[in-house]
Amino acid sequence: MPEAAPPNDSQIEELLYFCNREGKAGFLLPIRTTDWSAAETQAFPDRTSKAMCLVWNMVRELKLKTDDGDFTTVRGHAAFASRFDLEDVAILEGFSVKGQDSVVLRFILSSVPTELQEALSHED
């Protein structure tokens, strides 16, 4: 059975990805580093809970496994450093963030601009 389309009033955002030096995709998460750090210490103010909800929906809907990559930081931004080739990313359709069984936000995957790609691919 196909997944139901998100309601027209749900917001659509881009989740940016880039290609690292090894040819694998890294996804830049729209999460503040302070919220990311708070989650690591298991301190969950409201913003952190929302950020972890986004991560949970990403993991669940993209069916990510431990072998698929690692959550980390890249140039001071929360990121998912995947082991996916760009061809694998093309197959992924994005994901929805749900709240109380309704879609509140939909993410589509988009490549970063060329200028940003250069900076991110040379991350040490």
CB contact at 8 A, 11 and 104: yes
Give dist(CA 94, CA 91) in Å, integer. 9
Task: State the pTM of this model.
Answer: 0.80
Q: What is the pLDDT along the chain (124 residues), one digit of tens a residue?
A: 444 444 455 689 999 999 988 999 999 999 988 887 777 776 666 777 888 888 999 999 999 999 999 999 888 889 999 999 999 998 998 999 887 778 889 999 999 988 888 777 765 4
